[in-house]
Amino acid sequence: MIYLNNVSKKYKDLDILLHANYRFKDGTLTCVLGNSGAGKSTLLNLIAGLDIDYDGEIENLCFKEKNFSNKNLSNYRFNNVGFIFQDYHLLNGYTVLENVIMGAHLDSELTKEEKIEKALNLLTELGLKNKANQMVHELSGGQKQRASIARALMNDPKIILADEPTAALDELNSDGVMKILKRLARNRTVIVITHSEKVSKYADEIVCLKNHTIEIVKEKERYELDYSKESQTFTAKKAKEIVPKLNSKLLFWIAIRNFRIHFLKNLLAIVLISLGTVSFISTLGIKNTIKNEIQSFKEKNDYYSKGSIAFSKKPLSEGLTYLQTLPNVKDVYYQYNLQNIHLKYDHKNKHLDIKSPTLISSNLSMIYGDMPKDNRNEISLSLSVASSLSKNINQLVGKYVDFEYFDKEGQKHKIKMKVSGISNDTFDNFTMSTKLEKKIYKEVARGEASAIAFSVKNFEDIPKIHRLLKSKGYDIYTKEKDIRAFKNSFADTIKLFTILSNLLLLLFISVSFIIIYRISITRYSEVGILSCLGYSTRNISKILRRETVLFCLLSVLFSSIWLLIFNTVYSQNFGYNLEFNFQLGMLLLLVNIGLVFGITGFVNYRLVNLSPSLALKK
């Protein structure tokens, strides 16, 4: 029995029902007539517990709907209500058999084999056994409606709610469906919404929604449940209420199946999210690469960390003292003019009467090789000196020359030095490593110093030290311009990559969100169907979360693939790999998980929290 007692329903300011009263009897097929918009579908939603926003009381099977929680209403629909829709509302991508069994997945008391046997018996009764393994989109309209009837009967419901079940069918199929519903009404409450008077001829009772209330058109005088002529398959014989449960295995099976149904769209979203993530993470990898390149450059070119103060109006002694007080400055020492220097190589001798200290210059660069390393016995030769020692100056790099000089006592010294490189200096000049310079200047020091040499501990501090010394009035020489340009170039590169990667990330996330959102729009009816079958919001959320996990796993997999591709392309074009470490790997994983769960979480929240009655209309 279903009792409507003084039921009123509004939609915004529009009255749908006003103080409606009626009793739907067991063992009766009741047709509900009424004009479009009269509230026929709304009435079914109220009876099914899909809509509980009303005044008055609806008593179904000894309980009052409004006093039930959403979970209890789901249990009620699973155990007691079978739905048949005008548009069939079968789940696309599933076979006929899978559609019929979908509601029974919640029945933990039946084995898989028992569910299949029961579904096949129903399909046999409805003449669809040979269609059991066909996809639902391959069926005719009449076959789809019979499949939906089989699904409605799968859980042995006591109530059948049919919303215009014949509206999309021809006359022959309409008669077939109504005959089935008539049979079902022998031991159930069957409520059919219809516009058709031909359909209403099958009714035991007819009511009409008119003037916001229920008017009786035809009433059955006596009623009793009739099992005598009904097959065991069609009989509502559930002995006890079952608490619907969905085990983990079935959850993953449904999630995987749903994911496959929307695979191409999901794959496109996965590719875009993984591309955006990798482009973002690659920027951080490029930053690490650039930092490593800067460090490598500093190690190979420690000459760039050096500076000189030339003799000027300010005493050099004052400059030496000041430099020694600076915490980020090291290797401070006087430089002197060297006299009577000999450089010998392969029986050739280059004599320099006097050699002034080489002041650091932005114009000085290497033609071959590198500048001398601090702690090695190395020397770089100017183009002029190298040409005096060999016709093939490039072959001098890596060779050893004898460096001869006289100390302040007039004693001759000879040091074997390795040629580290050839500079573009056209004068007779050379540059020694700090180690050698300090040793030689200590031995030859006499008279007044010509300059001060120093090194800066941190490569990046050169411009700051240069500005500081210049502001103090010293005649300072460093590679400040080169280093500033070098840093700006890398900074601009990082900035460009960062902007591009962020734009790509934003673009790909936006497109992915649109794709996932469009997928969700097509799934509103699916969620509505599952709600009608007795799936609770929690059950549906579990399915969607497992789909999200699959989405996330594939996104991480594709990100790893893109990362390998990016690294290969980067390596081939720039000669070195992107610098990735454990932290960046974890960040890649977290960004993927965050984006996937963030986007799908937002979309799925809207999906599962929409009223089932509204979801079915989407």
Predicted confidence at residue 227, as pLDDT, reads 46
Q: Which residues pair with 208 in a beta bridge?
A: 33, 215
Kindly report which listed range (23-32, 98-107, 487-496) carries the lowest average pLDDT score: 487-496
State the first-to-last Cα distance of the chain, in angstroms, to the nearest integer. 31
Q: Is the pLDDT of residue 611 over 90?
A: no
**Two tokens at 275?**
């591309």
The owner of tokens 């058109």 is 217
The owner of tokens 């048949």 is 84
**Two tokens at 268?**
């496109």
Predicted confidence at residue 239, as pLDDT, reads 55
- Better-predicted residue by pLDDT, 351 or 362: 351
Chain centre distance of CA 539: 24
Residue 193, phi then psi, degrees to nearest 5: -90, 135
Predicted confidence at residue 598, as pLDDT, reads 92
Strand order in the sheet with 81-85: 81-85, 159-163, 189-193, 28-33, 205-210, 213-218
Q: Is 212 left (phi over 0), alpha (psi -120 to 50) or beta?
A: left
Q: How far is CA 519 from CA 331, 506, 603, in A?
A: 67, 20, 10
| CA–CA separation, 527 and 258 (whole Å) | 12
| CA–CA separation, 199 and 558 (whole Å) | 55
- Better-predicted residue by pLDDT, 279 or 111: 111
**Two tokens at 199?**
């359909």
- Domains identified in the chain and CATH numbers: 2-245 (3.40.50.300), 253-296+488-616 (no CATH), 337-446 (2.40.40)
* Cα radius of gyration rounded to whole Å, the chain: 44
Q: Which of 108-112, 360-364, 500-504 holds the top average pLDDT?
A: 108-112
Contact 461, 306 (CB under 8 A): no
Percentage above 90 pLDDT, the chain: 46
| CA–CA separation, 576 and 141 (whole Å) | 63
pLDDT digits (tens, 9 = 90+) for 61-101: 555 656 677 888 889 899 999 999 888 999 999 999 999 99
Predicted confidence at residue 568, as pLDDT, reads 84
Task: Report, as an integer, the average pLDDT of 531-542.
Answer: 92
Residue 578, phi then psi, degrees to nearest 5: -70, 145
Kindly report which listed range (152-161, 193-202, 235-244, 489-498) carries the lowest average pLDDT score: 235-244
pLDDT band at 207 (very low <50, low <70, confident <90, very high): very high
Predicted confidence at residue 228, as pLDDT, reads 47
Report the alpha-carbon angle 312-315-320, nearest 5. Answer: 110
